[in-house]
Amino acid sequence: MSGPNPTYEPVAIDHARAALSGLAIGDALGMPTQSLTREDIVKQFGDVISTFYDARDDHPFAAGLAAGTITDDTEQSLLLADEILSSPGSVDPRHWAERLLAWEDGVRRRGLMDLLGPSTKRALANAMTGMDLNETGRGGTTNGAAMRIAPVGIVTPSHDLELLVKRVTQVSALTHNTTTALSAASAVAAFISAGIDARSFDDALTSALAAARLVENAGDHTSVLVSARIEQGVQLGRQYSESALIDAVRRNLGTSLASEESVPAAFAMLAAAGGDGWHACCVGASLGGDTDTIAAMTGAMCGAVWGLASFPSWAIERVEQRNHLDLGRVARDLIARRS
C-alpha cells in the first residue's frame, strides 16, 4: 500500500472507526449463533437476538465464550490491517501466509476451535509445500476474503475502483483467487470505501456493484455472478424486515460460508437497516448458518456509510473492553494511509 497521507477529515475517521466497530459488534453478536440452525437460534435466543450472549458450553466453535467476544472475522481483519500498516508497499503474499498460520497457532494455544476457513487452510497448506503463490488460492470460493477485507476499503479511496480491486486481489488471491470470492470481497471493500468518503447508501451500492462487475468481466465467465445476487439481496432487504427478511434470505440466497450466499445476505441486512446498524447486525446474527461472518460484514458496511451513530455507544465500548481493542487507533492509522 502507499505511504502516509497526513490530510484526512474527522468524518472519515468516524466512519472508519464505525466500520471496524460494526465489524466487531456483528461478529460478537453472531459468535454464539454461528453454525446453528435457524430453529436452534429461535429456541435459544428468540426470533431476533437483541443483545450479546454467552456461547453455550457445547457450541462447536465458540464453546464457553463470554458475551461480546469476537471471533476469527474481527481478528483476521485486524491482522490484515496491521499487515497493511507495516508494509512499506504492497502486502507480501508469503509474509501474509506466515502471519495467518501464526494466528491459527495462537488460536489453538488459546484452546479455541474457530480456526482458518476451508479455502484459507487449503491454500496455506499448498503454499507451505512450495506451490506457486499465484496458484494456491485457485479453489477458494468461500467468504474468508470478504470477511477480512474492511481494512482495504478503509485505506483505499473510492474514486479509483481499479486500484481498489487490485488491492483486494493483492491481499486475497493467496487464499481466494477465484472470480466468485474476489468479486464478493471487492463489493464489500468498495461499499466501505465509498462510505468512508461520505457517499450516500445508493452511491456506495453502485460502487460495490461496479467493483464486483470489474472482477466478473475480467474473470471466469462460468462463475456465479455475485453482483446479480447482491442486487437480489438488496431487493429482499427493501421488501422485507425482521423474520420475514430472514425467511426470504434463507429461501432465496442461503446463509452458508459460500461467498455467493453470505455476501448477498449481508447486503440484504444492510438494505433493510435504514441507518440502524445495530439492528441489522442483530437480524444477521439470527439467520442461522454463518451468522458471525454475515453480521460482521453487515456491521462493517453499516458503520462505513452511517458512522458511529448507527450503533449504541455501550455496544462499541463492550466489544472494545471485552476484547482489549483500540479500534480508534487502527482507524486513524488506516485513514492516514488512505491514498
- The answer to whether residue 5 is domain-embedded is no
Asked whether residue 114 carries a pLDDT value surpassing 70, the answer given is: no
Residue 18 confidence (pLDDT): 98
CB contact at 8 A, 69 and 28:
yes
What is the rounded CA–CA span in Å between residue 204 and residue 194? 5
- The answer to whether residue 11 is domain-embedded is no
145 lies in which domain range? 21-336
- The answer to whether residue 16 is domain-embedded is no
Residue 254 confidence (pLDDT): 98
Residue 4 confidence (pLDDT): 45
Distances (CA, A) of 14 to 11, 20, 46, 305: 5, 10, 33, 10
Q: Tell whether pTM > 0.85.
A: yes
What is the rounded CA–CA span in Å between residue 289 and residue 286? 9
Domain count, the chain: 1
Distances (CA, A) of 91 to 5, 94, 205: 18, 9, 27
- The answer to whether residue 124 is domain-embedded is yes
Inter-helix orientation angle 118-128/93-109, to 10°:
120
| Distance from chain centroid for Cα 273 | 17
**Could you tell me if residue 36 is left (phi over 0), alpha (psi between -120 and 50 degrees) or otherwise beta?**
beta
**Nearest-CA neighbor of 187 among 217, 219, 148, 215?**
215
Q: What does the pLDDT look like over 144-203, one tens digit per residue?
A: 999 999 999 999 999 999 999 999 999 999 999 999 999 999 999 999 999 999 999 999
Which cell is 68 given?
461480546
Residue 1 confidence (pLDDT): 61
Residue 6 confidence (pLDDT): 43
- The answer to whether residue 159 is domain-embedded is yes
Q: What does the pLDDT look like over 281-328, one tens digit per residue?
A: 999 999 999 999 999 999 999 999 999 999 999 999 999 999 999 999
- The answer to whether residue 60 is domain-embedded is yes
- Dihedral over Cα of 246, 248, 249, 255: its sign: positive
- The answer to whether residue 141 is domain-embedded is yes
Location of C-alpha cell 445476487: 229
- The answer to whether residue 13 is domain-embedded is no
- Dihedral over Cα of 238, 244, 248, 250: its sign: positive
What is the rounded CA–CA span in Å between residue 195 and residue 205? 10
Q: Is 264 exposed, middle or buried (0-12, 13-18, 19+ CB in 10 A)?
A: buried
**Could you tell me if residue 324 is left (phi over 0), alpha (psi between -120 and 50 degrees) or otherwise beta?**
left
Q: What does the pLDDT look like over 35-55, one tens digit per residue?
A: 999 999 999 999 999 999 999
Residue 118 confidence (pLDDT): 83
Q: Write down the mean pLDDT value for the chain.
A: 93
What is the rounded CA–CA span in Å between residue 47 and residue 282? 10
Q: Which domain CATH number covers 155? A: 1.10.4080.10
What is the rounded CA–CA span in Å between residue 66 and residue 154? 29
How many alpha carbons fall within 13 Å on the CB side of residue 201? 16
